[in-house]
A and B are shown apart, each in its own frame.
Chain A
């Protein structure tokens, strides 16, 4: 079990640029979740996949955000036309039948928009 991995770990970008993050879940997990965490707050749900199907997307999620999981393995989260308010830690988690509803979290990608 190599755990959930995320890439990059840190990203600094200028306002208006597009960014893409990658998440590799635990290999046997079929569910993958994206969360966002800002300073002093708990993680906030963004979206989640079961295999390649995107089952739920937060109503708080702007149209500038899109996520994919094309082959039911890794996932990407893209933010278009970044804004300073997008600065946050983006967390990925995965779960599967073997983990009994538990979600295992990755180290996160810290995004700073200047």
Chain B
């Protein structure tokens, strides 16, 4: 079955540490890829997206992600996290442009001061 997998359900790290969240998808062919973030008490917000072109994409708040087609991966990174990055992070794939998003289960990230 087509799916999106996120490797970690919970991550705890200290401020200034580096963050990398794994995401793998099982779709063949062209697929749009997204990372969304949900801060406590807020709605889902788009962090970054990949449609085509440069496989290294930069998003808001210092986040970036790398698309590796051979590994069906789209991992999210941030070199130095802040306490305000505490949130739940969701990877999503869109096999048909304009169509539905298939989300992973999410990763809860807690950044300690």
Q: Interface of A with B (CB < 8 Å)?
A: 31, 33, 35, 40-45, 48, 50, 56, 91, 93, 95, 100-108
Query: By the criterion CB–CB under 8 Å, are B101 and A45 in contact?
Result: yes
Out of A42, A56, A100, A106, which one reaches B43, CB within 8 Å?
A106
15 contacts between A and B (CB under 8 A): A31-B98, A33-B100, A42-B90, A43-B44, A48-B99, A48-B100, A56-B99, A91-B43, A91-B44, A100-B51, A101-B49, A101-B94, A101-B98, A105-B44, A107-B43
Interface residues on B, range: 20 to 34
Q: What is the bound-complex CA distance between A40 and B10, given in angstroms?
A: 11
| Interface of A: prevailing SS | strand
Query: By the criterion CB–CB under 8 Å, are B105 and A42 in contact?
Result: yes
A39, chain B: closest CB distance, angstroms: 10
Q: What is the bound-complex CA distance between A107 and B43, given in angstroms?
A: 5
